[in-house]
Structure 1
């Protein structure tokens, strides 16, 4: 079966990190393997330890953070569209799978995902990559999906702040003000801050920062310089961009230029 939505999926492979990761989220799922070391992951305000040969799964929009100790890992970021496509091919309905298990100790799942990652990083033929992808994600969905929900873009159900989120996404490269965001939903700044953080789990500033850095990954993967990337995503200078990037992801953005560390699948 042909997977239509594998293109532009991001992969990262980090040999060793000893860093703290600030609160952030992704618009995609995160599916990652711990190959060595320890990662203390804080997800849905609950702390879990990820050891060697374990799998991490984070749903889109879930705020997470953590810290690492000699952590060697591989992550990839399947989109809602990709996960929904695999789900539909299994169950013949269009739904979005959700996972309540955050750290999964299942050597079969680890092996399936390892095989998939090796096929991607070794640039295997597309059929082999798709076969290993389907094996891994179908196993994950069939064994660890806790529930499903109707297909819709992330944050669409948050009607109170939907306009402010749309405003942020349309103006990431500009100096967005709190006044503008509060006005977009007809709330005072005080009430807007409270509603936004209760809904998202991040302050507006943290949300904007997270989205700028996610967008920056794609620019860097396309060969755009760090200085230009910083400008395109709204940072005042390159050093400010690098400092915030490392604070969120635990490594400097220049690592993304090495294809053994980072791939934007085509």
Structure 2
């Protein structure tokens, strides 16, 4: 392998002292990327160095340092290094409960979601990056960090959000939502494609095509992603690796390790260490 083709992934996770509903992430990538996936949290991404290609809002985008990436829960997205030099970025993961509290206090209890996955605003991007750098290096007090992060996230929602309306679902939308609920309710089981399609009373081939058309993911990929998301929650709470593997439907700890590293770039054991 040539030197400039070397795969590099260096990451860290941490929680600020002020809130259990926020997780912060910093990583440097070179010749590395993540396939299409979803998160259960609201996600804010910021590039500090380099450029990246991303799959956001249903299409491919090239992103730079003035870009703020804003992803709603369960929205499909992906990222890949643009050049061999790679890129460095921060991510802010906000639990829905945290966003709900912000909405209740600042937006007349209206439920909001990010209206676009890509928001170009150099001022807000630099402000968020500065906040995160100070927190990472322990150079900000708790009250300074909390005030700054809340005010800046409020500004982001003010400029890049829409009120979440009660949608008029089509029969296909309802079917996909039912499939997602079934998958989430049965993560610990060895699900087969036929189990889900039988629940929906349609052929498995029709379901497979429909699910991918609506989510950009295969049902198997979605199942694995949701298992990883659940494993993150358990590991943050201090659950053992072997119990996490069992509770999330992995065959064994080795299966968890392989899938977790493929999805996050690090092992579940190293991920757990960031929080304990």
Normalising by structure 1, we get a TM-score of 0.80
Is the deviation greater in 85-94 or in 40-49? 85-94
Q: Tell me the distance in 1 between the aligned counterparts of 2:229 and 2:179.
A: 18
Match of 1:148 in 2: 163
Is the deviation greater in 113-122 or in 177-186? 113-122
1:95 and 2:111 matched: yes
SS at match of 2:94: coil
> Across the two proteins, how many residue pairs are aligned to each other?
252
RMSD: 2.9
Report if the CA contact (8 A) 1:109-1:140 is conserved. no
Match of 2:188 in 1: 173
Question: Which runs of 5 or more structure 1 residues have no equivalent in the other structure?
Answer: none
1:107 and 2:95 matched: no
Is the deviation greater in 168-177 or in 126-135? 126-135
Match of 1:35 in 2: 48
Match of 1:79 in 2: 95
Is the deviation greater in 236-245 or in 124-133? 124-133
Q: Tell me the distance in 2 between the aligned counterparts of 1:125 and 1:6.
A: 13
Question: Which runs of 5 or more structure 2 residues have no equivalent in the other structure?
Answer: 1-17
Normalising by structure 2, we get a TM-score of 0.78
The 1:200–1:245 alpha-carbon spacing in structure 2 relative to 1, beyond 3 Å, is same
1:19 and 2:32 matched: yes
The 1:179–1:19 alpha-carbon spacing in structure 2 relative to 1, beyond 3 Å, is same
Is the deviation greater in 182-191 or in 223-232? 223-232
Match of 1:189 in 2: 204
How far residue 15 of structure 1 moved from its aligned partner, in angstroms, is: 4.3
The 1:239–1:19 alpha-carbon spacing in structure 2 relative to 1, beyond 3 Å, is farther
Report if the CA contact (8 A) 1:15-1:71 is conserved. yes
Report if the CA contact (8 A) 2:21-2:95 is conserved. no
Residue 57 of structure 2, aligned match among 30, 44, 49? 44
Kindly report structure 1 stretches of 4+ aligned residues shifted beyond 4 Å.
Answer: 123-126
Q: Tell me the distance in 2 between the aligned counterparts of 1:90 and 1:81.
A: 14
Q: Tell me the distance in 1 between the aligned counterparts of 2:143 and 2:240.
A: 33
Q: How does 1:105-254 map to 2 (within 5 A)?
A: 105-115=121-131, 118-119=134-135, 122=138, 127-145=143-161, 147-150=162-165, 158-254=173-269
The 1:71–1:103 alpha-carbon spacing in structure 2 relative to 1, beyond 3 Å, is farther
The 1:86–1:254 alpha-carbon spacing in structure 2 relative to 1, beyond 3 Å, is same
Q: Tell which has more relative contact order, 1 or 2 (C-alpha 8 A, sep 6+).
A: 1
Report if the CA contact (8 A) 1:10-1:76 is conserved. yes
